[in-house]
Amino acid sequence: MMKEIKNIWQAYQQLDFTQNQAALATVVRVEGSSYRRTGARMLVLENGDWIGGISGGCLEGDALRKARLAMAQGKATVVTYDTTDDDPYQIGVGLGCNGIIDVLLTPLDPTDPHNPVRLLEKYLGQRQPDLLVTVVDVRGDTGPLTLGKAYRYDDPTYFGNTFPMSHVAEHNILADIKACLKNEKSATHTYLLPNGASVSLFLEVILPPVHLVMMGGNYDIYPMVRLAKEMGWRVSVVCNPAKVHQSLFELADAIIPKDDGEVPVDAYTAVVLMAHDYETDYRHLRRMLRTPVPYLGMLGPRKRTDKMLTRAQEEGSPIPDEAMRRVYSPVGLDIGANTPEEIAISILAEIRAHFAGRAGTSLRQREKPIYEE
């Protein structure tokens, strides 16, 4: 998701609004199945170009046409796509998605402080969950809370100074925001206004991208770096900078000296030990288990890790069970990986499953829907 936000922001920065208008299409509600979920975005340009996506390609063309209309009218609108409908004139019919998708189309004004793309820029580089509040439905006179307006939530004080609290019960919306951030799940809530009108707000939780830290400098790190960057992750490599190919300095976000460089760790960091040297990996294992890193992968057979655990026990500083629950050894999913590229896929898939709270099994074995409602 963060990669899409970054791409949209970079494209937005290049726009000349004296020559080309733009709008943002955002999926704000999904009922049933769909290829993309709430929060999926597409920047639509007046000349017909777009960046990002709101579906697997089936809705983008129609959304482009409707976004152009919204630009011409200078007014935000919500378009509903019902792929469960048998109506042959309904966009999306016959796709088999069997879902209902609401897409908010917001014309972009570069001077508007509530321009959603301008606000999205502030989420880039964040290393903690953040939240964006977007008006997705209005009924009656809602004052300044007009359709498409966006507000960034940093903290209660900042939000209270930018959001028209007098129009919505303060304790309700702040409690709902805190619940979304705690659960790391977006939600839409409808609030009644004192004058009898109502407003629906999309409380969108935006999570930081995974920070992948690879501790090793051998040739097998390169496909890991390339694939992780393609996924939009942040990538750091802990190694001897003098012994890696120059291209790594362009591929990775950071190169950290292996002996004295500080490794930044947070709740969205995954560390993989892949030095292919027992002493180095053992030293790194002890080092990283002193941090709160939630995922620590160990390349190599399980008996190699067991040997390290025995050594730690014999040295009088055993590794506690709580810490070992963060260790994935051998690292990766069981997909029969053999080449460095296949091994990279196996490891990155396991990391993704870890942060998604999934088991990493085949989807055909999943009895519940792929996405939680």
* Residue 326 CA: distances (Å) to CA of 208, 286, 320: 20, 13, 11
Q: Domain for residue 182, yes or no? A: yes
d(CA 122, CA 352): 24
Structure tokens at 155: 């903290």
3-state per-residue secondary structure call for 244-282? CCCCHHHHCCEEEECCCCCCCCCCCEEEEECCCCHHHHH
For residue 371, tell me if it sits in a domain: no
- CATH number, domain at 281? 3.40.50.720
Please classify residue 258 by burial: count the beta carbons closer than 10 Å to its beta carbon, then call 0-12 exposed, 13-18 middle and 19+ buried: buried
Residues 130 and 149 occupy one common structural domain: yes
Q: 181, 206, 231 — which closes off a domain?
A: 206
181-237, pLDDT tens digit by residue?
Answer: 999 999 999 998 888 899 999 999 999 999 999 999 999 999 999 999 999 999 999
pLDDT band of 363, cuts 50, 70, 90: confident
Specify if 87 maps to a domain.
yes
Host domain of residue 195 = 126-206
* pLDDT one-digit tens code per residue, 68-112: 899 989 899 999 888 776 555 555 444 446 678 889 999 999 888
Rounded to whole angstroms, the Cα distance separating 320 from 243 reads: 34
Q: What is the number of domains present in the chain?
A: 3
Q: What is the pLDDT of residues 102-142, one digit of tens each?
A: 899 999 998 888 889 988 888 888 889 999 999 999 999 98
Give the chain's count of helices (H) and strands (E).
Answer: 11, 15
167 secondary structure, DSSP code: G
Both 230 and 351 in one domain: the answer is: yes
Residue written as tokens 């006179």? 141
pLDDT above 90 (res 281): yes
Residue 289 has pLDDT above 70, yes or no: yes
> Which has the closest alpha carbon to 182: 136, 144, 128?
128
pLDDT at position 296: 97
Query: Which of residues 125 and 354 earns the better pLDDT score?
Result: 354
Share above pLDDT 90 across residues of the chain, in percent, rounded to a whole number: 57
- Do 337 and 247 sit in the same domain of this protein? yes
Residue 164, preceding peptide bond in cis (omega within 30° of 0): no
Q: Domain check: are 202 and 221 in the same one? A: no
Do 172 and 227 share a domain, yes or no? no
Residue with the bigger pLDDT between 20 and 223: it is 223
Is there a single domain that holds both residue 36 and residue 134?
no
Considering the chain, what is the average pLDDT of its residues?
88
The better pLDDT of the pair 144, 268 is held by 268
Q: What mean pLDDT comes out for the span 143-158?
A: 88
Question: 333 and 216 in one domain?
Answer: yes
CA 255 to chain centre: 23
Predicted confidence at residue 19, as pLDDT, reads: 82
Q: Any residues with CB less than 8 A from the CB of 77 and at least 6 apart, and which? A: 66, 69, 70, 104, 105, 147
The whole-number pLDDT of residue 93 equals: 43
DSSP-assigned states of every residue in 283-348: HHHHHHTTTT-SEEEE-S-HHHHHHHHHHHHHTT-PPPHHHHTTEESS-S--S---SHHHHHHHHH
- Both structure tokens of 161: 């100074």
pLDDT at res. 167: 65
Q: 9 in a domain, yes or no?
A: yes
Q: Is the model's pLDDT at 351 over the cut of 80?
A: yes
Same domain, 219 and 349: yes
Q: Is residue 372 part of a domain?
A: no
Say whether both 229 and 195 belong to one domain. no
**pLDDT for res 94:** 46
